[in-house]
Amino acid sequence: MTSIISWNVNGIRAAEKKGFLEWLARESPDVLCLQETKARKEQLTAQLVFPAWSGGTYKTYWQSAKKPGYSGTALFCKKEPLNVRTMNIPEFDDEGRVLVADFEQVSIISAYFPNSQDHGARLDYKLAFCAAMLDFCNALQKEGQHIVLCGDYNIAHKPIDLANPKANEQNPGYLPEERAWMDTFTQAGYVDTFRHFCAEPNQYTWWSYRFHAREKNIGWRIDYQCVDAAFLPYLVESSIKADVIGSDHCPIKLVYKD
């Protein structure tokens, strides 16, 4: 079995102070995908760069944004990947949006999708990123790879995926154009693994820090682990770890048979 956890930590240095390393030692995933790390590697403690697990030390890979304290992705791997890369598209790589670990037959992607921002100020950039990501996944499949696209997509796909869909129809993360792209993505043969296993409402991965939203479970499900349809038979579990504190997002976990 291989376990992959994805988590938008909203600042890895802040998360470290809130018990991140202790959580990692307990959970011990085979691969950890992080988003919104907000730091360069040289700013991190040795414990974050070389975190221990019971069988050794994780190999860690960091893709930081050029802008300090912004965006950023990372991968922690027990087994060394065959290759680690970005999308090789400067406008997205410069913001540290994507890091990919290629293993035999499976490519695991840690992606931090842009926020479209108020009044859709960055919607064009967001949709360009989404289109590039679909092309990227399709190209990987043509190379013979299965896809596990992990991360904060910054999109709630369907009304079930947020607490107040009607009130948020013109808000970033639930704009019609964003939901339409999720339709396009899933219709292209990519599967939302959580919904493959769970059709229940009130399942969220992000809560505002305001209005005691997390206590009241007034949230959004905007973090996903999507796979190509051919990978579905290998899946064992896709779950949300809403009880894990340390960020405004919670981790999500995927387990598959090797």
Give catalytic residues, as residue numbers: 152
Q: Looking at this protein, which amino acid is placed at residue 246?
A: G
Name every residue whose Cβ is closer than 8 Å to that of residue 46 and which is 6 or more positions away in sequence.
none
Give φ, ψ of 144 to 5 degrees: 95, 10
Q: How far apart are CA 134 and CA 26, in angstroms?
A: 34
Question: Is residue 57 classed as helix, strand or coil in its secondary structure?
Answer: strand
Which has the closest alpha carbon to 4: 144, 179, 189, 146?
A: 146
Partners of 190 in the β-ladder: 228
CA R_g for the chain? 17
> Which CA distances in Å does 46 have to 58, 188, 254?
12, 42, 27
The DSSP letter of residue 60 is: E
Instruction: Give Dmax (Cα) for the chain.
Output: 49
